[in-house]
Amino acid sequence: MLQSIIEAADFIRSQTGDFKAEAGIILGTGLGGLVREIEINHTISYEDIPHFPVSTVEGHSGKLIFGLLGGKRVMVMQGRFHYYEGYTMQQVVFPVRVMKQLGIRFLFVSNASGGVNPNYEIGDVMMLTDHINLLPSNPLIGKNDPELGPRFPDMSEPYDRKMIHHAREFALYEDFKLHEGVYVSVSGPCFETPAEYKYMRIIGGDAVGMSTVPEVICARHMGLPCFAVSVITDLGVEGKIQEVTHQDVIAAASKAEVKMTAIFRHLIAKHL
């Protein structure tokens, strides 16, 4: 595995020269607009990178973008890999390992999710303070490579407390609503039944989605600090549950991505 990570990273370096990103950013469904804020130096299609999986889902275009955001060097995954697409957990997290190999010091992640906290509304943004992994697997299952991280990694601080603090201050200063909550990850691809949404709330969740947790587990295994936000695209709250389609999710995410982009840009510019 280490060999394929190194080969992918070497290929990317052969394309980007001495550009060294300080942070990696993974953009969720309908949240690709952050790329418009980047002064782009290089773009690489996933299909050109050795060992990289190729994205299949609508709304994910599958490119690695290198450039400046808030004056800092970043690399952005426009399009991510989901377990429901049929990838193994190891494939889902492979790009995170490659980004770490390329030298990133921080990982930012975004996703679209269903709100189960009754105070949430469509279009709200929630930063993750913690998560509950209900995916049927874990990317670290299998032989552990000690060069990547320990067999039994600590998860006492899945999301970086300092960044959460800075994001909270930023939202207060800018006077916008930024929730803090627990993200529950599920396999999908079905959205939840009403009883399942209720269960997510009972176990302590504020939002539910089909991504992010594998990447964060993999990043924390390698000691990489993480910050993640969910854009609430639909509600799994009793009395407010409506039929959901992927198009609804994309439309709601596109509207809220301005806030998400502002938070990421601020944290990267001022606190990285």
219: its two tokens: 């990043």
| Total of residues contacting ligand HPA (CB under 6 A) | 14
Q: How many residues does the chain have?
A: 272
List, in order, residues 6 or more apart from 31 with CB less than 8 Å away.
110, 111, 112, 231, 253, 254, 257, 260
The only residue of 35, 210, 218, 229 in contact with ligand HPA, by rule CB under 6 A:
210
Q: Does 109 bind ligand HPA (CB under 6 A)?
A: no
**Biggest CA pair distance of the chain:** 54
Q: Which is nearer to ligand HPA, 124 or 192 (CB)?
A: 192
Candidate ranges 72-80, 144-152, 208-216, 218-226; the one touching ligand HPA (CB under 6 A): 208-216
Residue with tokens 């890999």: 81
Could you tell me whether strands 23-27 and 72-78 are parallel, antiparallel, or unpaired per DSSP bridges? parallel
Q: Which is nearer to ligand HPA, 101 or 185 (CB)?
A: 185
Q: Does 208 bind ligand HPA (CB under 6 A)?
A: yes
Candidate ranges 52-60, 62-70, 149-157, 204-212; the one touching ligand HPA (CB under 6 A): 204-212
Q: Does 83 bind ligand HPA (CB under 6 A)?
A: no
Q: Does 90 bind ligand HPA (CB under 6 A)?
A: no
Q: Which segments of 25-124 does DSSP mark as H helices, in order?
A: 89-101
Q: What are phi and psi of 182, to 5 degrees?
A: -100, 130
The site map against ligand HPA for 184-203 (x = CB under 6 A) is ----x--xx-----------
Pairwise CA distance, residues 56 & 182, whole Å: 28
Summarize as ranges the residues that interact with ligand HPA (CB under 6 A). Answer: 112-114, 188, 191-192, 208-210, 233-234, 236, 244, 249
